[in-house]
C-alpha cells in the first residue's frame, strides 16, 4: 500500500536527520554501519539500492548542515528543512516542475533563516536525494512511479531461449578512469565521500587514493555528470588534494 511507503519514508528520513545532527555532520564508516544496524533493528529491511540511496541522502543532508552551520540552531534547522522536504516529496509523488521547486524554496525560506542563496544548492541536493530514495522504496502491489516523463521501455534483449540461437555476450565498455592499483584504499577517509559515493566510485573503476589524485578535468566532468550526479562536488571538497596527501603518507 502507498501508506506503507510514505510511513517508511517518513521514519527513515527522521532517523537520517537525527543521525546527521547527532554526528554534527561528521561521521566515519563505523558510524555509518552502526546507523544501518539501528535501522535494521527497527525492523526495516533495506535493499542494496535503498542503502545506496540512503547514503546519498545522508551526504546531501551533511552538505546542507555544513553550509548552514553558522546561521542558527542546526538541529532545529535540519528538522524543519527535512520536514518541509518530506512533505513536498510526498505531495508531489517524487515528480515536480521548476515552478514547484520555486514555491518550495519560498516556503523553506519562510520557515528557516538557514535557507539562503548560499545554501539553496545544498537544499536542492537534499530534495533530489530524497526523490531518489523515495523512488527506491518498494510498494506492495503498486508499480513503481516513472520519474522521467515520457520515458520509454527498452525492448527485452534477444536471448538463446527467445531466438533459438546462441547469443554471444558483448564485452563491457571501457571506463575512462585511471589504471586500477592492486590494493583498494578506504575512500570514505576523504572528506565528502560517504559509503554510497565510495561504492559508486569503485563501480566506476576508482578504488585508490592515487587514482583520485590523478583525475583529469575530463575525468572529473565524467564522474560528476554520470557517476556521482553532483556537479562541482569534487573540487569543492578538494578530493584531489586530500587524495594526494593520503597517497603520499601510505
State the 10-residue block means of pLDDT for the chain, 250 residues long.
Answer: 75 90 88 90 81 86 82 78 89 85 88 83 85 73 36 44 45 45 79 83 85 86 81 84 85
Looking at residue 19, its pLDDT comes to 92
Q: Do residues 102 and 24 both lie within one domain?
A: yes
The answer to whether residue 206 is domain-embedded is yes
Domain count, the chain: 2
Write down the residue that cell numbers 552538505 correspond to: 63
Looking at residue 178, its pLDDT comes to 45
Q: Do residues 64 and 126 both lie within one domain?
A: yes
Calpha distance 87→134 (Å, rounded): 12
**Are 239 and 190 within 8 A, CB to CB?**
yes
At which of 136, 153, 171 does a domain end? Answer: 136
> What is the span of the domain harbouring residue 230?
187-248
Calpha distance 60→54 (Å, rounded): 10
Q: Do residues 127 and 11 both lie within one domain?
A: yes
Q: Do residues 9 and 108 both lie within one domain?
A: yes
The answer to whether residue 175 is domain-embedded is no
The answer to whether residue 176 is domain-embedded is no
Q: Do residues 91 and 30 both lie within one domain?
A: yes
Q: Do residues 132 and 39 both lie within one domain?
A: yes
The answer to whether residue 90 is domain-embedded is yes
Q: What is the pTM of this model?
A: 0.54
Calpha distance 15→20 (Å, rounded): 9
Q: Do residues 124 and 195 both lie within one domain?
A: no
CA–chain centroid gap for 241, Å, is: 22
The answer to whether residue 242 is domain-embedded is yes
At which of 68, 102, 136 does a domain end? Answer: 136
The answer to whether residue 145 is domain-embedded is no
Q: Do residues 131 and 205 both lie within one domain?
A: no
Q: Do residues 6 and 123 both lie within one domain?
A: yes
The answer to whether residue 114 is domain-embedded is yes
Looking at residue 250, its pLDDT comes to 66
Q: Do residues 131 and 244 both lie within one domain?
A: no
The answer to whether residue 160 is domain-embedded is no
Q: Do residues 116 and 49 both lie within one domain?
A: yes
Amino acid at each position: 500500500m502507498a501508506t506503507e511507503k510514505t510511513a517508511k519514508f517518513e521514519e527513515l528520513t527522521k532517523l537520517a536527520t537525527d543521525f546527521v545532527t547527532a554526528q554534527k555532520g561528521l561521521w566515519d564508516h563505523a558510524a555509518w554501519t552502526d546507523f544501518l544496524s539501528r535501522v535494521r533493528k527497527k525492523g526495516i529491511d533495506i535493499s542494496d539500492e535503498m542503502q545506496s540511496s540512503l547514503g546519498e541522502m545522508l551526504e546531501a543532508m551533511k552538505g546542507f548542515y555544513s553550509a548552514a552551520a553558522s546561521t542558527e540552531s542546526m538541529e532545529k534547522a535540519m528538522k524543519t528543512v527535512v520536514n518541509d522536504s518530506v512533505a513536498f516529496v510526498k505531495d508531489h509523488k517524487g515528480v515536480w516542475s521548476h515552478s514547484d521547486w520555486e514555491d518550495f524554496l519560498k516556503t523553506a525560506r519562510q520557515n528557516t533563516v538557514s535557507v539562503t542563496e548560499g545554501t539553496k544548492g545544498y537544499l536542492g541536493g537534499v530534495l533530489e536525494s530524497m526523490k531518489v530514495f523515495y523512488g527506491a522504496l518498494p510498494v506492495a502491489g503498486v508499480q513503481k512511479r516513472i520519474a522521467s516523463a515520457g520515458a520509454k521501455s527498452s525492448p527485452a534483449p534477444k536471448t538463446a531461449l527467445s531466438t533459438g540461437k546462441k547469443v554471444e555476450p558483448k564485452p563491457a565498455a571501457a571506463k575512462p578512469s585511471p589504471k586500477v592499483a592492486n590494493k583498494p584504499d578506504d575512500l570514505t577517509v576523504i572528506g565528502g565521500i560517504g559509503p554510497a559515493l565510495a561504492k559508486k566510485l569503485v563501480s566506476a573503476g576508482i578504488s585508490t587514493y592515487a587514482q583520485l589524485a590523478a583525475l583529469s578535468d575530463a575525468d572529473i566532468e565524467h564522474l560528476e555528470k554520470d557517476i556521482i550526479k553532483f556537479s562541482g562536488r569534487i573540487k569543492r571538497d578538494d578530493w584531489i588534494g586530500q587524495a594526494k596527501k593520503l597517497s603520499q603518507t601510505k
